[in-house]
Amino acid sequence: MIAGMSEKDMARRAAQEIEEGFYVNLGIGMPTRILDFIPEDKTVFFHTENGLLGMGGFAKKGETHPDLVDAAKQPITCIKGASFFPSDISFAMMRGGHIDLAIMGAYQVSEKGDLANWTAPGMLPSIGGAMDIVAGVKKIIILMTHTTKDGKPKIVSTLTYPVTGFKCVSMIITNLCVLDVTDKGLLLKELAPGVSLQEVVGTTGTKVIVPEGF
């Protein structure tokens, strides 16, 4: 298995996609590590679908409150200028196209930007807010390992896992590379340090468009 970027480096790279003033939803798991890489002087409004804009970091012991949690049910804090609201308004923000960016994990992404990240065959299915996010958020970035634990491609020509949404992913950030989803297919944008073009091509289950210079 090729190492490429660590989870920490991946989170740092993803953080660069977040612009000043963005309203951003972070998925459960690896994406929450992005919080550590937002510069102090950059104003970003993190959205948690359970009803908060302006999530701060995780709450320290002794400063938690049972009614103040994120979408992963972890105790959190909120920033100055935050706001709380009920679930219908929270999802109006997503479905209605108000959230600028969502960064989520995935089981599979297709070359067309189709996404599978809610359930796998044989699993008890849970959906949470994943389908609502892809139905309306302006830009979706997937942050995931390039392959499964046993080395199978997660970036594929056609999904074999149950679909979350069609043609919704704009960018894929993995431990090996950064890919843009374009009308013509997946375009290589960056290679992780120490990772070869052959390694990316060999572990991707569909064609990767490689621009000159790589």
Among 18, 103, 113, 132, interactor with another protein by CB under 8 A: 132
Q: Which lies closer to another protein via its Cβ, residue 100 or residue 146?
A: 100
Stretch that binds another protein, among 124-132, 143-151, 185-193, 196-204 (CB under 8 A): 124-132
Query: What is the number of other CB atoms lying within 10 angstroms of the CB of residue 144?
Result: 23
Name the β-bridge partners of 76. 58
Among 9, 56, 57, 95, interactor with another protein by CB under 8 A: 95
Distance of CA 170 to CAs 15, 73, 140, 141, Å?
15, 28, 6, 6
> Is-catalytic flag, 49?
yes
How many angstroms separate the CA atoms of 180 and 183, rounded?
10
Length in residues, the chain: 214
Q: Which lies closer to another protein via its Cβ, residue 10 or residue 46?
A: 46
Q: Which residues contact 125 (CB under 8 A, 6 or more apart)?
A: 118, 119, 162
Stretch that binds another protein, among 103-111, 118-126, 173-181, 196-204 (CB under 8 A): 118-126
Point out which residues bind another protein (CB under 8 A): 20-21, 23, 41, 43, 45, 47-54, 59, 61-62, 64-69, 73, 75, 78, 80-99, 123-132, 135-136, 162-166
